Structure 1
Amino acid sequence: MRLIIMTELSWYRLDPLDVLLFRDSRPFQPGEGSWAKSLFPPLPITVFQALRSLCDPYTQNLEFLGPFLIDAKNQVWVDTPKDLVCIGNKSNEEADINDRADLSKVKGFARTQPAATDDPAWKDVRHPLPGKLRPIVEPTLRENEQTQGRPAPLMRLDALVLYLQGKLDQLNAKEHFHDLPWSTQVLPHIKMQTTSRTVEEEAGYFTEVANRLHPGWGFVAGISVANREGVVRIGGEGHQAQVHALKKHLFADLERFQGTGQETLAYVLTPGLAPVVADAPVYGLYPHDWQEHLIGVVGDRPLLAGGLSTFTRRNGQLQLGYSAQRAYVRPGTIYRFAQPPSPQPQQLLGGVAPKARTTFEKLHYGQLLWGTA
């Protein structure tokens, strides 16, 4: 696994010039009609290709990390850890732990926890697979406290540093968290027949479901090429973004969270791949070879995305076609260990062919940050 030195990357801000649409490269499904949905925010490969297009001559073997969201003040925002919950004073109104918290009632934060092995309420609940994985339960609170729900889905980068250090008492619900800074925009397209005033029978009606970032918001990413600026095409639908170089290394503080062998909590920074069986491209929430070490996992539904690849037909001709979709582990997923695997992994990346694996490693898919539980 690869260590990444954040200060060796050059960091760039990408400001969209219009709406953005990142197709997941799969055919339309029955019942969906001709709706082209967007995978947003984009996967690392999409933004990497956009930044690499500024390289002249064409450059290979580049390192890349991103993309992440950045606001008008150049503050970076990442996915809120999935195990984080808000706490407040106890009242007669019970809040669902999965609902968004009312900020006026939040006075602190806590983590959901793997159930204690001696807790009689969970003694008969066991994971069907071998290992030590336990159910995730609400945190143990003081008598006058109760959970108030979840924080907003984005966390400021400096707040993530506090989280990984275990300093939850220094988190601020209003300053350190933010709602998703984009809106959905539906764009219908109608193609008319050239000989009449009627819609074409095939591909005559087509709808894009695009995303528009709110004013002042953009993407930030690092790549091992310096001094590049300009307008790039981002994604396969022809949309563009303005690229600006950033002088400040915004991610330098994260280098110290790449593991010392002692940490028992891992945070997924970028989309990763977790094969659930050996030697097969079947993916889930955690890899099969971590079963003996894991005691808890908190995640969400996977990101489903495919791609386009060239295939060799029986007659020897090359043909462009859809490759199989992969189920990526979402950023913000949290793994809890009794003891971390040895050697301590730096990336959540398995079940990938050797040639493709090199690309995934250099683009730092599944980058893990290790912290204090």
Structure 2
Amino acid sequence: MRYYLLEPLDTLFFRDGSPFNAGETGQMEVLGTFPPSPTTVVGALRAAFARRLGWQYGDWSEDIKKKLGDGADLGPLRFSGTYVAKDGEPLFPVPLHLLRSGRTLVFLRPGEAALSTDIGEAQLPEISTRTKGLKPLEKAYLTRRGMEKALRGETPDPEDVFEASELWSGENRVGIQRDPDSRTTNEDALYQTTHVRLKKGVALAAGVEGYEGEAPGLLTLGGESRMANLKPCELSLPEAPSLEPGGGSLRYTATLITPARIRDEGWRKPGGALPGLPGRVVSACVGKPVLIGGWDTEKKKPLPLEPYLPPGSTWFMEAEAAKPDEVKEMHTRHIGDKREWGYGQILIGGWR
């Protein structure tokens, strides 16, 4: 896997599922989303690689299709990410079972007693402290060192936690639609969007497997074809902790670091399963779904939005005591749909 940094040269804009139609007077502002989905970054990278291979416009040649795939078929390519990086080091969404009040960080763990719920008997996550004001860090990131501590069940240091506001800020932009032929405009042509400006030293990162060519340098990324610089980098993901069986079973966590689309409903229920992972689901901390679409290059229109599980979602799993190696093999692997695009990447941790 070769890793690349995508360093924007200006603000970026990645639209969300908000309506964006001319003439809708109630449409005050389109906020967009950040970080971008793997679909967006993969599309930008493939287009940049194609230009490096000689493509200019129109359909790709058969030679390029053999190297980069065609449409939804990625051919020999495999991706990981998208990651947020600071000073060349990757950051990871805080697991949702880590709560904070002020500078105090506390982990949720499945309770010992099973409770009756609308989905059956469940060991709901609970805390062993009476600290008030605890909330999930839904818009925060951990350094590699901080994530490794969290995977071991140890509290990360405050300096290993970055709020989104420390990494990027929003900038309002007002534009007007213009007829390209007459260079004039009409009523209801104003629009407002919120762009993202990354702080100094912050960039995006992604891993690519199957492309052996040179980095193309500049590429267009996101809405309005904003420019970014693409360059190779060294990037290391967190290491998995040692997993020690206890009480005749192996307890571990699986935490998403990229969005996941899992069609098997087992992840929803205690006693269910996650695809590719041994054992059963004991409990989980799952965030609100994120809607992800894309762009259909053939039909020139947006793809339908689909719900994905958000990064940071964490499952508490229990497997046979003899399967620690099988569990650790899934560390940094992908689960669910579109794994080759970078979706569904997980990190393995431990819990007791």
TM-score by length of 1: 0.70
C-alpha change, 1:34 and 1:308, in structure 2 (3 Å) is farther
Report the AA paired with residue 42 of structure 2.
Answer: F
Residues 4 and 206, structure 2, Cα contact 8 Å, conserved in 1:
yes
Q: Separation in 2 of the partners of 1:287 and 1:26?
A: 34
Structure 2: 5+ residue stretches without partners:
54-63, 69-75
**What does residue 113 of structure 2 align with?**
117
The match for 1:328 is 308
**Structure 1 segment 144-223 matched on structure 2, within 5 A:** 146=131, 149-150=134-135, 153-168=140-155, 171-173=156-158, 175-180=159-164, 181-191=167-177, 200-201=186-187, 204-223=189-208
In the superposition, relative to structure 1, how do residues 50 and 289 fare at CA in structure 2: closer, same or farther (>3 Å)?
A: same
Shift of 1:262: 4.1
Query: 1:122-154 CA deviation, whole Å, 9 max, x = no partner?
Result: xxx522124x433322x214xxx7356345711
- Conserved 8 A contact 2:8-2:228: yes
> CA offset at residue 70 of structure 1?
1.3
Q: Distance in 2 between matches of 1:33 and 1:221?
A: 33
Aligned residue for 2:196, secondary structure, equals: strand
Distance 1:308 1:192, change over 3 A: closer
Aligned to 1:91: none
Alignment of 1:210-359 (within 5 A): 210-224=195-209, 225-226=211-212, 227-246=214-233, 248-251=234-237, 253-254=238-239, 262-275=250-263, 277=265, 290=273, 293-309=280-296, 319-339=299-319, 346-349=333-336, 357=337
Query: What is the distance in 2 between the residues matched to 1:271 and 1:84?
Result: 18
Q: Over residues 82-107 of structure 1, what are the superposed CA-to-partner deviations in whole Å (9 max), with x where a residue is unaligned?
A: 11124xxxxxxxxxxxxxx323xx3x
C-alpha spacing 1:287/1:62, structure 2 compared with 1 (3 Å): farther
SS at match of 1:19: coil
Partner of 1:70: 85
The alpha-carbon distance between structure 1 residues 255 and 65, as it changes in their structure 2 partners (threshold 3 A), is farther
SS at match of 1:42: coil
Cα distance change of structure 1 residues 303 and 245 upon mapping to structure 2, 3 Å threshold: same
Structure 2 residue identity aligned to 1:363: W
Of all paired residues, the percent bearing the same amino acid is 21
What's the secondary structure of 1:126's corresponding residue? strand
* Separation of aligned partners in 2, 1:333 and 1:34: 32
Shift of 1:54: 3.5
Aligned residues: 307
- 1:81 aligns to 2:134 (yes or no): no
Q: What is the rounded CA distance, in whole Å, between the counterparts of 1:192 and 1:324 in structure 2?
A: 27
Report the AA paired with residue 118 of structure 2. Answer: P
SS in 1 for 2:150: helix
Q: Assess, with a 3 A threshold, how the Cα gap between structure 1 residues 269 and 193 changes in structure 2: closer, same or farther.
A: closer
2:344 & 2:268 partners in 1: Cα distance?
12
Please report how far the alpha carbon of residue 256 of structure 1 lies from its aligned counterpart in structure 2 after TM superposition: 7.5
Tell me, yes or no, if structure 1 residue 45 matches structure 2 residue 39: yes
**What is the deviation of 1:275?**
2.9
* TM-score with structure 2 setting the length: 0.74
